[in-house]
């Protein structure tokens, strides 16, 4: 008898092959999911594999998150999301807001989001995962040339990691945000890396610095000390969030998703405290685009809007 682990949707199905008996006949196959037998005595491996896939899908845990995007008035959707769960149950939620409006940026951002999700979940910590991926991109040879790196892709990044029995960790570089929605209260967990933070509104400059000028991002080569010296904040920041076990929702959002709601004074809890989760989130990003365009009717414009909503 041999066990063969074939990759199926969670949980993994095990296919056991029993050799043909000495008295004659053909090999048979049995299927197990999570240690329980769900089918046996299949005459062909193909039939057993189909049974394993069906059983695995039925046993798949209920998805507790949703993602949504709206293109806005951009040519290419350069935002990306990714979710990855490590074997120990640590789960990483990632949102990247790509800098630019090209297919090159789109492809790079999608790959970077998946890479960051894997790194953070396997380390069980958002900051450790983000620093690992940040350092990897910063060490790319082409980024060592100060002229070449100006044309290389980058993205504002935020990542959150939840793990059984441990507080949630959040890390970010750029102006993508994380919020915690619980019991009617919206708590913002991140502090933007942009010129509006560096130069806040004052009596002489009531608008402050530009919100569009980000001061840290994934793909940069600047370390914490360099960013602290130039803009008053490190390249990467992090926060630890104890969860009290009561139901709450994590929201990750690009600036194209949260800024229009913020500027219009919308209550994020009201907008997102609804089910089904996917429908509520799609309405959220669609409304962000509509609100942004309506704010400047003479020259309407809306950025890519992307959000991730997870029940914790």
| Chain segment 22-46, per-residue pLDDT in tens | 666 676 777 666 555 666 667 776 7
Look at residue 10 in the predicted model and tell me its pLDDT. Answer: 34
Q: What is the mean pLDDT of each run of 10 residues along the chain (312 residues)?
A: 39 64 70 61 71 62 86 96 93 97 96 97 97 97 88 96 94 98 94 95 90 96 96 97 88 97 95 89 96 94 96 92
For a pLDDT cut of 90, what percent of the chain falls above it? Answer: 69
Q: How far apart are CA 291 and CA 25, in angstroms?
A: 69
| Residues composing the chain | 312
pLDDT tens digits, one per residue of 104-143:
999 999 999 999 999 999 999 999 999 999 999 999 999 9
Look at residue 15 in the predicted model and tell me its pLDDT. Answer: 64
Is residue 96 a contact partner of residue 174, using CB atoms and an 8 Å limit? no
Q: Model pTM? A: 0.81
Look at residue 260 in the predicted model and tell me its pLDDT. Answer: 97
Is residue 269 a contact partner of residue 184, using CB atoms and an 8 Å limit? yes
Pairing mode of beta strands 91-98, 155-163:
antiparallel
Look at residue 176 in the predicted model and tell me its pLDDT. Answer: 98
Angle at 72 between CA 263 and CA 281, to 5 degrees: 70
Look at residue 39 in the predicted model and tell me its pLDDT. Answer: 60
Look at residue 53 in the predicted model and tell me its pLDDT. Answer: 67
Angle at 183 between CA 96 and CA 289, to 5 degrees: 40
Considering the chain, what is the average pLDDT of its residues? Answer: 88
Phi, psi torsion values for 29, nearest 5 degrees: -130, 145
């Amino acid at each position: 008898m041999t066990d063969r682990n074939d990759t199926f949707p969670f949980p993994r199905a095990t296919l056991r092959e029993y050799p043909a008996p000495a008295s004659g006949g053909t090999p048979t196959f049995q299927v197990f999911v999570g240690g329980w037998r769900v089918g046996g005595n299949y005459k062909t491996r193909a039939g057993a594999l189909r049974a394993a896939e069906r059983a695995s899908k039925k046993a798949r845990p209920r998805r507790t998150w949703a993602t949504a995007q709206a293109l806005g008035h951009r040519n290419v959707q350069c935002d990306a999301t990714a979710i990855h769960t490590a074997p120990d149950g640590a789960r990483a939620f990632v949102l990247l807001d790509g800098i630019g409006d090209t297919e090159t940026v789109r492809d790079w951002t999608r790959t970077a989001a998946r890479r960051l999700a894997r790194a953070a979940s396997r380390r069980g910590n958002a900051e450790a995962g983000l620093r690992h991926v940040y350092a990897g991109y910063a060490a790319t040879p082409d980024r060592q040339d100060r002229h070449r790196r100006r044309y290389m892709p980058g993205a504002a990044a935020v990542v959150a990691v939840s793990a059984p029995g441990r507080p949630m960790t959040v890390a970010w570089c750029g102006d993508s945000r994380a919020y915690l929605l619980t019991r009617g209260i919206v708590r913002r967990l991140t502090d933007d890396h942009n010129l509006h933070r560096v130069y806040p509104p004052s009596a002489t400059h009531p608008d402050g610095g530009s919100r569009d000028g980000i001061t840290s991002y994934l793909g940069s080569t600047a370390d914490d000390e360099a960013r602290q010296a130039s803009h008053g904040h490190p390249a990467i920041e992090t926060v630890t969030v104890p969860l009290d076990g009561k139901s709450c929702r994590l929201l990750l959002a690009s600036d194209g998703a949260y800024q229009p709601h913020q500027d219009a004074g919308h209550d994020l809890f009201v907008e997102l405290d609804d089910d089904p989760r996917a429908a509520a989130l799609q309405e959220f990003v669609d409304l962000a685009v509509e609100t942004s365009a309506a704010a400047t009717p003479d020259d309407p414009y809306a950025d890519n809007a992307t959000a991730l909503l997870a029940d914790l």
